[in-house]
Chain A
Amino acid sequence: MTETFLQTAEPNCSAEEFDGELVAINLETGIYFSIKASGAAIWGDLNAGHSIETIRALASARGDLAVTTDSFIQQLQDHGLMRRVDSAAVPSKAPSFAAFTDAVDLPELESFGDMQSLLLLDPVHEVDAEVGWPLAKKD
């Protein structure tokens, strides 16, 4: 069976992890994305060299997870955050997504619109204190 591998679409995409939350930016479109928990695990697994098929196999035990995972992986490519590569490094450890297959939260790509307008938001004074940047105060 042919396997499909994905990697961060550098240099047009930059990504960084903050306490388990992954922040990814498409520098061409200026869109900022937040990926949490199981989504961040999938991102890490794909970059570590696990194939899409491996991730799908893990998600297949639950119908809702399988559908959402497929859609999530497609969105990563559609938004220019990850791209297909012919081959990948041999993963050094088992996929971390395995720990999330019983989780309630499904993988989700949360987008935050135009980066330029987000950057105008003062990260200390104009943000929701509970959630922090990039969510503006609700008043």
Chain B
Amino acid sequence: MKWTLKSVGRLQRRTEANSVTAMTASPAERALAPYLDRSYALVLRAIAQSGPASIEAYTEWRARTPLSAVPFAQHRAFPMLADFVTRENIEEREYERLRGVGRNLFTRSAANLHHLRQVLDLMAQQTIAPILLSGLALHAHKAVRLDGMALGALELLVPAAQFHVAQDLFKANAYRPVSERPAPDNASWHPPSSDCLIILRTSPLPSLTNRHFVQECIAASHIHQFQDRHVRVLSPTELLFCACVQPAIHDDIACFTAMLQGHALLATVPNAIDWVALQARIRRHELQAYALAYFQFLTQHTAHDVPNTFMAALNAKVRQDNIDEWMADRQRATRRSIGQKAGKAYRDLRFSRHSPSTVVGKIIRSMTRRLGR
């Protein structure tokens, strides 16, 4: 079948229809929808595999959609696709456009790291030692190059006790808050005369603010020499945990970024992953459905070694359980019913993802926003 834009659109509509059917099916028939659609699978195969498997995937991907119409989320893989084209000696007439994204990302990332140095120096004045999260942490672990990742925002974990001190420091140094009423556990700022986004968090994941989880992340963080400074960096196991249970599973950009992060970690520091600890954490907070969907996609389209016992445990739990929560989370929060939101709040409490006060705070802020609209 020759792929055209129309047929891709039809396929997307069919996939959405199937996902609605899955949400209303009986528990026995329920199954997890794929983490991402086939076009993402093809990109992942091309960059993570080699030889005929990757060439076949790339050829199919290129035949589906012109580069100009490729989903924005896939642009961040263009530098890796340019590497693939060079590695496999493929004739690609739009090679310079693929490579150009890498130059653009490098320029952006370099500029962002310039701001990061200033933030680190500023925080050091108040003995605040932030922990680098997400893409920054991957870069510090040398799992990604500056031209290979989209450093969209500088994400920093700041201990809850120092969260307000850090914000006061920003205010005093002419940084600009993105919102006048930030959440109590995360706040976004711009440096003076720049649009670079700095996100301060009191937990690595907005969907998991459990105090013990945060303390464990801080305790397990590594000290790295980064940008001529000593900084703390989230450990590879915690990074993989955050990637596999990231909550925005309705958002292709977040999902594909998480997938590329997992691929980068398993390609560069596979021996640094503590699978037993990862499994225990997933089980403790009852996040098996998220992790299974993520790792099924990752293992299906890459050659990374994920322990069979780890996958079997996830499979067994998801087969046994109701997976309503994962299905509900495939929808944007604004489209979820009151019942789904209440169910989510109940599970957040039951599986120790948030403290009761955090859950109540989230409900109040959500209701306030709704009333405001």
Contact = CB atoms under 8 A, between A and B. Distances in A.
A and B interact: yes
Interface of A: 10-12, 14, 16, 18-19, 23, 25, 27, 30, 32, 115, 118-119, 121, 123-125, 127-134
B267 interface: no
Nearest to B74: A124
Interface majority SS (helix, strand, loop, mixed), chain B: helix
Contact of A133 (B67, B86, B95, B101): B101
Nearest to B110: A14
A124 B110 contact: no
Contact of A134 (B103, B145, B228): B103
Contacts of B147: 16, 18
Interface in B285-332: none
A127 B100 contact: yes
Given A124-B101, A129-B94, A132-B100, 7 more contacts: A11-B117, A14-B106, A19-B99, A27-B110, A115-B107, A124-B70, A133-B104
Nearest to A17: B147
Contacts of A134: 100, 103-104, 107
Most A CB within 10 A of own CB, among B98, B100, B111, B117: B100
A69 B94 CA distance: 33
A87 B135 CA distance: 34
A21 B170 CA distance: 38
Contacts of A27: 110-111, 114
Nearest to B75: A124
The interface size bin for chain B is: 20 to 34
Interface in B53-110: 67-68, 70, 75, 78, 86, 93-104, 106-108, 110
In the complex, which of the residues A12, A16, A23, A25 has the most CB atoms of chain B within 10 Å of its own CB atom?
Answer: A16
B113 interface: yes
Contact of A124 (B78, B111, B114, B227): B78
B96 A123 contact: no
Secondary structure dominating the interface of A: loop
25 contacts: A12-B114, A14-B106, A14-B113, A14-B114, A16-B110, A18-B103, A27-B110, A30-B111, A32-B107, A115-B111, A119-B108, A121-B104, A123-B97, A124-B67, A124-B70, A124-B97, A124-B100, A129-B94, A129-B97, A131-B96, A132-B95, A133-B97, A133-B100, A134-B100, A134-B107
A20 to B, nearest CB: 11
B103 A129 contact: no
Nearest to B114: A27
Contacts of B113: 14
Contacts of B104: 119, 121, 123, 133-134
Contact of A132 (B103, B108, B228): B103
Contacts of A115: 107, 111
B144 interface: no
Contact of A23 (B68, B93, B107, B117): B107
Contacts of B70: 124
B157 interface: no
A41 to B, nearest CB: 19
Nearest to A112: B107
Pick the 4 closest A-B CB pairs, nearest first: A133-B100, A132-B100, A132-B96, A14-B110
Contacts of B146: 14, 16
Given A14-B113, A19-B86, A124 B107 contact: no
B111 A16 contact: no
Contacts of A127: 96-97, 100
